[in-house]
Structure 1
Amino acid sequence: MGILRKKKHERKPSFKSVLTAILATHAATFLLLIAGVSLAGTAAAFIATMPLFVVFSPILVPAGITTGLLTTGLAAAGGAGATAVTIILWLYKYLTLT
């Protein structure tokens, strides 16, 4: 038995696909550069401010807990209010259309 070989249909890439690949490569490189600079800046800021966090931790920890509780309460109140308005609007439409 002989070896069967399939002919490959070679197509040349279009100008649009080549241009798209080049632009996508440049965009990805730029975004990776921005991510690296952002990470380096965040690390430097973290290192610079760590002594302040250690010194002020007796104040910052209770303030953070309080802020978290207040944010949670406001989010819960907003969600409950939005749900109540939705139910009232649904009930109004249900009663006026039937």
Structure 2
Amino acid sequence: MADRMHPHQVQVHPSTRYEGGGMKTLLPHRGPSTGQILAIVALVPVGGTLLGLAGLTLLGTIIGLCVATPVFLLFSPVLVPAAITVALAVTGFLTSGAFGLTGLSSLSWIVNYFKQGRSTMEQLDYTKRRIQERVADATATVGQKTKDAGQAIQSTAQQGKESARATT
């Protein structure tokens, strides 16, 4: 009784195995495709630039606050410039965070793109083949209709010639 398998038991075998981790597990085994290389070339500089802008904006905001704080203490009765400076500081922090999140999400998109691997490329190839088949079918249909129209014109012209000969 113990050696019988019950129908509700399921055996799960993972399709991927651990190969030591690192970037090797994210990349396909046959090497990156042209589309993947173009994605890296386009998106890594964008992500890096956005992260750099986030850092520069954060640094500028902190320096601005360090310079403006003593001025606030010396000229505390002047509230309008203080409010403007605080508003600019908040804007700087929010801008820095937005650049940082955008840069990190770009890099995260790259990693997810490589994790999907070939399935996306296979879907694109399938779609391309389907479009080519439909274009070929449409071309054959148009060619047949053109041929039929030409034959109809030719038969009409032939009938016109025969009726012209009959009247003369």
**With structure 2 as the length reference, what TM-score do the two structures score?**
0.29
**With structure 1 as the length reference, what TM-score do the two structures score?**
0.48
Larger Rg, first or second structure (1 or 2):
2
